[in-house]
Amino acid sequence: MKIDTLIHAKWIIPVEPENTVYENYSIAINGDKIEAILPSDAARKKFTATTELNMDQHALIPGLINAHTHAAMSLLRGLADDLPLMEWLNNHIWPAEQKWVNSEFVKDGTELAIAEMIRGGTTCFNDMYFFPDQTAKVCADVGMRVVVGLILIDFPTAWADDADEYILKGEQVHDTYRHNPLVNTAFAPHAPYTVSDEPLQRINILAEELDIPIHMHIHETAFEVSQGIEQHGKRPLQRLTELGVVSSRMVAVHMTQLEQAEIGELAKLGVSVAHCPESNLKLASGFCPVGALVKAGVNVCIGTDGTASNNDLDMIGEMRTAALLAKGVANDPTCLDAHTTLKMATLNGARALGLNESIGSLKKGKQADIVAINLSQLETVPMYDPVSQIVYAGNREQVSDVWIAGKQLLKDRKLTTLEYSRVMNKAKAWEKKVKG
Report CA 184 to chain centroid distance, whole Å: 13
**Domain extents in the chain:** 2-62+369-405, 72-352
- d(C-alpha 170, C-alpha 188), whole Å: 9
Cβ neighbours of residue 180 under 8 Å, at least 6 residues apart?
136, 140
E-assigned strand segments in 44-195: 48-62, 64-69, 122-127, 145-152, 183-189
Instruction: Mark out the alpha helices in 121-162 (DSSP H runs).
Output: 132-142
Give the model's pLDDT for residue 436: 79
Angle between helices 103-119 and 420-435 (to 10 degrees): 130
Q: What is the pLDDT along the chain (436 residues), one digit of tens a residue?
A: 999 999 999 999 999 999 999 999 999 999 999 999 999 999 999 999 999 999 999 999 999 999 999 999 999 999 999 988 889 989 999 899 999 999 999 999 999 999 999 999 999 999 999 999 999 999 999 999 999 999 999 999 999 999 999 999 999 999 999 999 999 999 999 999 999 999 999 999 999 999 999 999 999 999 999 999 999 999 999 999 999 999 999 999 999 999 999 999 999 999 999 999 999 999 999 999 999 999 999 999 999 999 999 999 999 999 999 999 999 999 999 999 999 999 999 999 999 999 999 999 999 999 999 999 999 999 999 999 999 999 999 999 999 999 999 999 999 999 999 999 999 999 999 999 998 7
Distance CA 267, CA 260 (A): 11
Position 85 scores a pLDDT of 83
In this structure, which CATH number among 3.40.1010.10, 1.10.1200.10, 3.50.50.60, 3.20.20.140 belongs to the domain 72-352? Answer: 3.20.20.140
Residues 6+ apart with CB under 8 A from 430: 75, 100, 105, 108, 109
- The answer to whether 256 touches 288, Cβ cutoff 8 Å, is yes
What distance in Å separates the CA atoms of residue 42 and residue 46, rounded to the nearest whole number? 6
Burial 301-340, CB ≥16 within 10 A → b, else e: bbbbbbbbbbbbbbbbbbbbbbbbbbbebbeeeebbbbbb
pLDDT value at position 86? Answer: 86
| C-alpha radius of gyration, the chain, whole number | 21
Gap between the Cα atoms of 287 and 285, Å rounded: 7
For residue 165, give every residue at least 6 positions away whose Cβ sits within 8 Å of its Cβ, in sequence order, or none. Answer: none
The reported pLDDT for the residue numbered 117 is 98
CATH fold, domain 2-62+369-405, is Urease, subunit C; domain 1 (2.30.40)
pLDDT at residue 314, as a whole number: 98
| Sequence-separated (6 or more) residues with CB below 8 Å from residue 400 | 55, 58, 372, 373, 374, 410, 412, 413
